Amino acid sequence: GWQVSMKSGNLSYVLPCSRLPVQLMSQVRVYTSNGQKKDLGSEDTNGSASGETLHKVETGQDTTNAGQKQSSPKQPIQVKVKAVLKKREYGPKYTQNNFITGVRAINEFCLKSSDLDQLRKIRRRSPHDDTETFTVYLRSDVEAKSLEVWGSPEALARERKRRKEAEIKYRENLFRNQRLLWEYKEFFGNTKPRSSTAAMFFKGPGKVVMVAICINGLNFFFKLLAWVYTGSASMFSEAIHSLADTCNQALLALGISQSARTPDPSHPYGFTNMRYIASLISGVGIFMMGAGLSWYHGIIGLLHPHPVESLLWAYCILAGSLVSEGATLLVAVNEIRRSARAKGLSFYQYVVQSRDPSTNVVLLEDAAAVLSVAVAATCMGLTSLTGNPYYDSVGSLGVGTLLGTVSAFLIYTNTEALLGRSIEPEQLQRLTELLESDPVVRAIHDVKATDMGMSKVRFKAEVDFDGRVVTRSYLEKQDIEQLLQEIQQVKTLEELEAFMLKHGENIIDTLGAEVDRLEKDLKQRNPDVRHVDLEIL
pLDDT digits (tens, 9 = 90+) for 340-381: 888 778 888 888 877 778 788 888 878 887 888 888 888 888
Q: Are residues 377 and 258 in the same domain?
A: yes
Residue 499: band (very low, low, confident or very high) from pLDDT cuts 50, 70, 90? very high
Shared domain for 350 and 475, answered yes or no, is: no
Q: Are 339 and 350 in contact (CB under 8 A)?
A: yes
> What is the reported pLDDT for 417?
81
Alpha carbons 264 and 170: distance in angstroms, whole number: 17
Nearest-Å Rg of the Cα atoms of the chain is 40
* Displacement of CA 50 from its chain's centroid (Å): 66
Lowest mean per-residue pLDDT among 159-163, 183-187, 433-437: 183-187
Amino acid (1-letter code) at residue 75: Q
User: Which segment of 13-27, 101-115, 419-433 scores lowest on mean pLDDT?
Assistant: 13-27
**Which stretch of DSSP H or E encloses residue 512?**
helix 493-525
- The rounded mean pLDDT for the chain is 77
Report yes or no on whether pTM surpasses 0.75: no
The b-or-e profile of 264-276 (16+ CB within 10 A means b, else e) is: eeeeeebbbbbbb
- 344 falls within a domain: yes
Q: What is the mean pLDDT of residues 134-157?
A: 89
Mean pLDDT of 154-165: 89
Q: Are residues 309 and 355 in the same domain?
A: yes
The whole-number pLDDT of residue 140 equals 86
Q: 137 and 219: one domain?
A: no
239 and 367, same domain (yes or no): yes
Label residues 219-253 b or e (16+ Cβ within 10 Å = b).
bbebbbebbebbbbbbbbbbbbbbbbbbbbbbbbb
Judged against a pLDDT cut of 80, whether residue 46 lies above it is answered with no
Residue 187 has a pLDDT of 52
* Structural domain count, the chain: 3
Which band of pLDDT confidence, cut at 50, 70 and 90, is reported for residue 465? Answer: very high
Give the CATH number for residue 349. 1.20.1510.10
Q: Which domain holds residue 152?
A: 99-172
The CATH number assigned to the domain holding 142 equals 3.90.530.10
Q: Same domain for 129 and 167?
A: yes
74-82 LR contacts (CB < 8 Å, sep 24+): 74/20, 74/22, 74/23, 75/16, 75/22, 77/15, 77/22, 77/24, 77/26, 79/8, 79/11, 79/13, 79/26, 79/28, 81/11, 81/28, 81/29, 81/30, 81/31
Query: What is the band of 315 on the pLDDT scale with cuts at 50, 70, 90?
Result: confident
Which DSSP symbol is given to 288? Answer: I
pLDDT band at 214 (very low <50, low <70, confident <90, very high): confident
**According to the model, what pLDDT value does residue 94 have?**
64
Pairing status of strand 457-465 against strand 529-536: parallel
pLDDT digits over 261-271, tens only? 888 777 888 88
* Residue 17 included in any domain: no
CA–CA gap between residue 324 and residue 216 (Å, rounded) = 8
Q: Are 298 and 376 within 8 A, CB to CB?
A: no
